[in-house]
Amino acid sequence: MKNSVANTPKTHDEDLPLPVIRQATAPSVADQIFDALSQRILSLKLPPSTKISEAEVAKQMGVSRQPVREAFKRLAKLGFLYIRPQSSTTVSLISENAVLRARFIRTALEVKTARTAAGTLDPDGHAALAALIEDQKAAIAAKDREKFHALDDAFHREICVRSGVGYVWNLIHENKAHMDRVRMLTLNAASQKLALDDHIRIFNALTSNDADAVELAMTEHLSRILIHIEAIKADNHNWFTEDTQ
């Protein structure tokens, strides 16, 4: 799984096309900037070590620098930007420790949710999950990696929502972000098929109301990143850091 592009630094001009902000809409301007930048960072459109500037982002999005500065600070606090005062701001390297912490938290939350789902999902919930699985098959056939990634998230979110604990997805979404950049590095045809097979196994356990089976299927599904992370680091060593933060 070779990603030689990881060794080629990029400048902020290449992948920054950003939407012009509508000042009077909710969420806030800073929230919109945060969402736009985080989406690009997590999808690797803005890869690790990419330089970005408040002035450039403000210009492209048609806003003042203050909400951009606020969004930058939020991203830095989450570990996705590295801000050097009076110097430069760059997209942070991927921290293996942050990825492993995120996986631990996500697994704890999703396994509990999956067990809850095994006893609470109704036929409408089963049908919604089945439709998402069919959409995932179509995304694989179309070789649409980003759509598959979005549908993958939708599948997990639907389990939470249909189980009556939709608020848990908000916690999962916040904590899984460090996993997402690694996931994007592994989303080739083979890994997508493997994820799809995992989802089908989870679905079958849910429709059988088998809490133990769904716990096992979910745990194994979310543990796959542990198997691949060393190979991913070897292929993309310039994008990873050994920090312990």
120-132 pLDDT, tens digit each = 999 999 999 999 9
Rounded average pLDDT over 84-106? 92
Confidence check: pLDDT of 146 > 80: yes
Query: Residue 228 has what pLDDT?
Result: 82
The confidence band for 188, taking pLDDT boundaries of 50, 70 and 90, is: confident
In whole angstroms, give the CA distance from residue 125 to residue 165: 13
The confidence band for 22, taking pLDDT boundaries of 50, 70 and 90, is: low
- For the chain, percent of residues with pLDDT exceeding 90: 73
Phi, psi of 235 (to 5 degrees): -80, -20
- Quote the pTM value: 0.80
Contacts of residue 150, Cβ cutoff 8 Å, sequence gap at least 6: none
12 neighbors 51 (Cβ within 8 angstroms):
yes
Q: Which string of b and e fits 141-177 if b means at least 16 CB within 10 Å?
A: eeeebeebbebbbbbbbbbbbbbebeebbeebeebbb
Confidence check: pLDDT of 5 > 90: no
Confidence check: pLDDT of 48 > 70: yes
Pairing of strands 51-52, 89-91: antiparallel
Q: How many CB atoms lie within 10 A of CB 245?
A: 8
The confidence band for 50, taking pLDDT boundaries of 50, 70 and 90, is: very high
Confidence check: pLDDT of 183 > 70: yes
Rounded average pLDDT over 229-242? 87
Q: Which string of b and e fits 14-30 if b means at least 16 CB within 10 Å?
A: ebbebeebeeeeeeebb
